[in-house]
Structure 1
């Protein structure tokens, strides 16, 4: 069973994903629900084009990347354990800027 998810990479994060800000993806999830931890691994394997260390640290996003689910801070939703629903919009905003 596939789940449609809208992914947004903003604030410079889009440069790690082929300079594309918006992706609508269909992810096979099997019988179980898909959580953000699993989504991050899918993003790493299927969308990330360069510099993993600028997007992820261990099994989560690196400090300095804000994560929103339908415009709500993921920390209010359980972060990595949030179970993604059909057509959720998950936004990753980099707050890291050189200077």
Structure 2
């Protein structure tokens, strides 16, 4: 049976400007089958987290944060201070207490 999960999300490098200028927040995701009734898994992945963030937290210019079903190139994603590439990126199954950081490496000019 799926359960709600609490985690910390952080933004830096300007990514926070897309999320009401809040650099860090604790969120509680509902049981995955409540948010995605068609989902057969019990655990959230980063892919579903991005959908939830778009629906619930992203306030402006989603094209600066998302591209397709992932983050745009130039957004560094860290799972507990480690590059998400070491954790299967979108497929990483979120754990209670994880910290997911999104850091923009893009700079306008």
Q: TM-score, normalised by structure 1?
A: 0.97
Name the larger-Rg structure.
Answer: 2
For residues 27-66 of structure 1, the C-alpha deviation after alignment (integer angstroms, 9 at most, x for no partner) is: 0124610000000000000000000000000000000000
Q: Which residue of 2 aligns with 1:48?
A: 58
Question: Does structure 1 residue 20 correspond to structure 2 residue 30?
Answer: no
Q: Which residue of 1 aligns with 2:11?
A: 9
- Provide the C-alpha distance between the structure 1 equivalents of 2:99 and 2:71, rounded to a whole number of angstroms: 17
Q: Which residue of 2 aligns with 1:88?
A: 98
Which 4+ stretches in 1 moved above 2 angstroms?
A: none
CA deviation after TM superposition for structure 1 residue 93, in Å: 0.2
Long gaps (5+) in structure 2: 34-41
CA deviation after TM superposition for structure 1 residue 23, in Å: 1.1
- Provide the C-alpha distance between the structure 2 equivalents of 1:46 and 1:40, rounded to a whole number of angstroms: 10
Q: 1:74 aligns with which of 74, 84, 99?
A: 84
Long gaps (5+) in structure 1: none
Q: How large is the Cα RMSD of the aligned pairs?
A: 0.9
Number of positions where the alignment pairs a residue of Structure 1 with one of Structure 2:
99
Q: TM-score, normalised by structure 2?
A: 0.88
Q: Which residue of 1 aligns with 2:75?
A: 65
SS at match of 1:33: coil
More strand by share: 1
